[in-house]
Amino acid sequence: MAQQVKRAFKYRFYPTSEQAAELSRTFGCVRLVYNKALDERTEAWYGEQRRISYAQSSAALTQWKKTPEFAFLAEVSCVPLQQALRHLQTAFVNFFAKRAAYPRFKSRKRSRASAEYTRSAFTWRDGHLKPAKMDAPLDIRWSRPLPGGAEPSTVTVSRDSAGRWFVSLLCQDSIICAPATSAAVGADAGITSLVTLSTGEKIINPWHERRDRARLASAQRNLARKAKGSANWDKARRKVARVHARIADRRRDFLHKLSTRLVRENQTVVIEDLAVGNLLKNRTLARAISDAAWAQLRSMLEYKCAWYGRELIVIDRWFPSSKLCGTCGTVRAKLPLNVREWTCDCGAEHDRDVNAACNILAAGLAASACGDGVRPQRNTSRTRRSSAKQETQRATAGAPCLLSGEEVNL
C-alpha cells in the first residue's frame, strides 16, 4: 500500500555572482519585512491591546513599498516577502495555542538566510529551476533524482553560515509502506552507547563533535585573533562555520542510517520521552548530550514510522526504566550514573542500559495494549503522574526481557 506525502528534496547549487547578489538582496528584504511586521504587531498589542492579522500586514507591506525609505522592497520578488508574513502569522498562531514561545526577531548574523518561492514565482522546465528575477536557471547538483514526473510546488533557497547554497524542492511523493513484521524493539538513549536496544545490542556513540574538537578549537582561536568585522575575520569565521557544518552533516547522516534501520527492521519502536532541554542544564553532560542529538533522532523516527506504516510508542519520562528490575519488578531507591551493572535482591544481574531498554519495551507494549498510547507531554498533575507511573510499573513488573520478534506475555 502506498500513501501520498509531501516530501522535501534538498540539493546544493552554485550561483553566479549576479544570482548570489540577487538572492542576498532577497534574503535581506525577507528579514526586514519579517522584523518590521513583528515590531508593528508587538507595539499594537502591548500599546493598544490590538491584534494585527495577516491581511493587515500584507496591506501594510504594499504601503511600505510606496515610501521612499522602503522603495527597494519592490525590486525583489514579492512572493518571498508574502511568505515571510505567512510564516510570522504561523508563529503567532503557535504562540497563542501555547505550542511555541513568542516570535523573535531575525538576526542578520545568526538567523538562517532563506527565501521561499511558491509556484507562481519560479519556472520549472525539463529539470531546470529558475526563480523569479533570475536571468538563468540555478546550477543544481542533482545528487539524487526527484520522484518520477514530480514537479515542485514550493522552492526554498537558503545559504548556511559556511557560505554553502542549498535549494529545497517540496514535491508530492508516493511512499510504499514497509512489509509488516512482528518484531518490536525498545531503545534506551545514552551517551557512551548512543542507543541500547532491548535485543542487547549497543550502538556506540560516534562522538562527532569530539572527533573534530581539536580542529574546531584551532579555528576558534584563529578567529579570536582577528579584528572583528575585517576581511580576515570573515574568512576565519567561515572556517569555524565549515567545521561546525562538517560535524552536523556527519551526525545527520549517522542518525538517518540508524533511524532507517530501526524502522525497517521493527514494526513497533518504543522510546522514552526525554526532556532534552532540561538535561542540557547539567553543565557536566551538556556538551555530550548536545552531540548525541536525541531530539533529532526522535524526530526522524516519528516521521519515518508515519511514512512506512510503523508504530512509535513514547513512554512517560518519569518511568524508572533504569532502576526497575525487569525480573521481579523491584524499583531501586538510587542508581547513580557511574553504576553500569547492578544486582537485584532477587539475584538477577542487570546491565543498566540493556535492562532499561527491556523495561522501556515492556512498558510501551503494555501501554499500547491498554490503549494508553503515546504520551509525549509531561503531565502537570503530580497525582495523575504518580498514578500513571504506578500503573505502568504494575503492568511491567515481572515481565520478561522482551527480545525483538517475541510475543508479549503480560
Domain end point (choices 176, 194, 215): 176
Q: Is 311 helix (H, G, I), strand (E, B) or coil?
A: strand
Q: Are 118 and 198 found together in one domain?
A: no
Give pTM, 2 decimals.
0.83
Range 191-194, long-range pairs (CB < 8 A, 24+ positions): 191/285, 191/288, 191/289, 191/292, 193/353, 194/258, 194/292
Mean of the per-residue pLDDT values of the chain = 88
What's the CA gap between 297 and 195, in Å, rounded? 10
Q: Which residues are 342's β-sheet partners?
A: 350
Where are the alpha helices (H) located in 266-343, listed in sequence order?
A: 276-279, 286-292, 294-307
Q: 16-33 pLDDT, tens per residue? A: 999 999 999 999 999 999
Answer whether residue 337 is part of any domain.
yes
Answer whether residue 281 is part of any domain.
yes
Q: Are 153 and 281 found together in one domain?
A: no
- Say which CATH number the domain at 254 has: 3.30.420
Q: Are 286 and 319 found together in one domain?
A: yes
Q: Are 136 and 10 found together in one domain?
A: yes
DSSP symbols for 353-393: HHHHHHHHHHHHHHHHHTT-----S--S-HHHHHHHHHHHH
Residue 398 has pLDDT above 50, yes or no: no
Q: Which residues are 186's β-sheet partners?
A: 270
Q: Are 324 and 361 found together in one domain?
A: yes
Q: How many CA atoms lie within 13 A of 230 on its CB side?
A: 9
Question: What average pLDDT does this structure show over 238-266?
Answer: 96
Q: Are 307 and 264 found together in one domain?
A: yes
The x, y and z cell numbers of residue 145, run together, are 533524482
Q: Are 290 and 144 found together in one domain?
A: no
What's the CA gap between 283 and 410, in Å, rounded? 40
Residue 386 has pLDDT above 70, yes or no: no
The x, y and z cell numbers of residue 171, run together, are 514535491
Answer whether residue 409 is part of any domain.
no
pLDDT of residue 367: 84
pLDDT of residue 372: 59
pLDDT of residue 3: 86
Residue 110 has pLDDT above 80, yes or no: no
What share of the chain in percent tops pLDDT 70?
A: 90
State the DSSP H helix or E strand holding residue 173, giving kind and residue range, or none if neither. Answer: strand 165-176
Burial of 204 from C-beta contacts in 10 A (0-12 / 13-18 / 19+):
exposed
Q: 304-330 pLDDT, tens per residue? A: 999 999 999 999 888 998 888 988 888
Answer whether residue 364 is part of any domain.
yes
Which residue range is the domain that position 195 belongs to?
A: 184-206+249-370
Cβ neighbors of 16 (< 8 A, separation 6 or more) are 136, 139
Q: Are 139 and 81 found together in one domain?
A: yes
Q: Are 323 and 358 in contact (CB under 8 A)?
A: no
Q: 80-109 pLDDT, tens per residue? A: 999 999 999 999 999 999 999 999 999 887
Domain count within the chain: 2
Question: What average pLDDT does this structure show over 223-238?
Answer: 95
pLDDT of residue 371: 65
Answer whether residue 363 is part of any domain.
yes
Q: Which residues are 175's β-sheet partners?
A: 3
Question: What average pLDDT does this structure show over 212-223?
Answer: 96
Answer whether residue 219 is part of any domain.
no
Distance of CA 147 to the CA centre of its chain: 24
The C-alpha cell 519585512 sits at: 33
What's the CA gap between 311 and 304, in Å, rounded? 10
For residues 385 and 119, the model is more confident at 119
Q: Are 202 and 334 found together in one domain?
A: yes
Q: Are 309 and 1 in contact (CB under 8 A)?
A: yes
Q: Which residues are catalytic?
A: 188, 272, 353
Q: Are 337 and 258 found together in one domain?
A: yes
Q: Are 164 and 285 found together in one domain?
A: no
Q: Are 14 and 73 found together in one domain?
A: yes
DSSP symbols for 196-241: EETTS-EEE---HHHHTHHHHHHHHHHHHTSPTTSHHHHHHHHHHH
Answer whether residue 408 is part of any domain.
no
Answer whether residue 284 is part of any domain.
yes
Residue 239 has pLDDT above 70, yes or no: yes
